[in-house]
Amino acid sequence: MRKRSLLLLTASTVVFLGLFFFSSSRNPRANAQSANNALNANSPGCPCPTPTVEPAKIPEVITLGQDAKLGQITFNHVKHNGGAYNIVQGQKIACISCHHTAQPNSEVVKNPPLKTSWPADRTTTLTQELFDKDPKAAGVAACRECHAREGMTPKLIPAIPEIKHESSTVMIKMTNMTAFHRACTSCHAEVRKTNPLSKGPIQTQCTMCHKKAA
């Protein structure tokens, strides 16, 4: 009698397991959902909140020239575009003073030797307000994406830009280092003209920007 009961119990178990696995294979999505529900039920604080994505922000400080022989440069982006530093007293430095490709081509060509817009078909001019509204649509290219290092190919254009020297026929390749030095020193020179008391560095004061690590 005991042997017969054991056989009946075993048979019932086999049938039950067979029906369970058959049902699971017929509806794997429901099975997976059940497993997820069980997991969530056993997890504290669930259902878990959807992760939030922080909006893109203009960097406060940018480190430039990390491999420079004279030391790297800590560029305070906030002071340069926030009004603490300026060329004309009381006026913020425009974004396109540095990000010169971030304007329509019709505006770019008014300021030779500049000649490139990015994206090429852009219709907007980069401003703080435009970036705050939609950082992706603002179309901000990093300097090195056009002005690559010597021997490297730029990301956004076929080759490193070249311009004619202001007082000769010599062509100047606007590598990353050359572009930065020309942009920074020319701006600082203009600052000294409008504000002779400015403490901004000039072309011969390299170590005011370049700082070697202690």
Contact between residue 87 and residue 79 where contact means Cβ atoms under 8 Å apart: no
pLDDT higher than 60, residue 173: yes
Please check whether residue 212 is in contact with residue 71, taking contact to mean a CB–CB distance below 8 angstroms.
yes
d(CA 14, CA 128): 70
pLDDT of residue 175: 96
Query: What 3-state class would DSSP assign to 172?
Result: strand
**Each residue's pLDDT tens digit, 85-136:** 988 888 899 999 999 999 999 999 999 999 999 999 999 999 999 999 999 8
* pLDDT for res 118: 94
Instruction: Report CA-CA distances (Å) from 32 to 25, 45, 62.
Output: 11, 21, 47
Are the beta carbons of 181 and 187 closer than 8 angstroms?
A: no
Looking at the chain, the whole-number percentage of residues with pLDDT higher than 90 is: 57
Express each pLDDT in 129-167 by its tens digit: 999 999 989 999 999 999 999 999 999 999 999 999 989
Q: Could you state, in order of their start, the residue ranges of all structural domains in the chain? A: 61-211
Reduced to 3 states (helix: H, G, I; strand: E, B; else coil), residue 142 is coil
Hey, is 65 helix, strand or coil? coil
Q: How far apart are CA 94 and CA 83, in angstroms?
A: 10
pLDDT reported for residue 6: 42
Check: CB of residue 81 under 8 Å from CB of residue 64: no
Confidence of residue 33 (pLDDT cuts 50, 70, 90): low
The two tokens of residue 60 are 């406060």
In terms of C-beta density within 10 A (0-12 exposed, 13-18 middle, 19 or more buried), how is residue 4 classed?
A: exposed
What is the rounded CA–CA span in Å between residue 32 and residue 164? 66
Is the separation of the CB atoms in 75 and 63 below 8 Å?
yes
Which pLDDT score, from 0 to 100, does residue 22 have? 42
Instruction: Answer yes or no: are the C-beta atoms of 72 and 63 closer than 8 Å.
Output: yes
Judged by average pLDDT, the poorest of 39-53, 72-86, 91-105 is 39-53
This prediction has a pTM of: 0.70
Sorted by sequence, the CB contacts under 8 Å of residue 141 that are 6+ apart come out as 99, 101, 102, 118, 156
Cβ-based burial of 62 (10 A; exposed 0-12, middle 13-18, buried ≥19): middle
Mean pLDDT of the chain: 81
Is pLDDT above 50 for 81?
Answer: yes
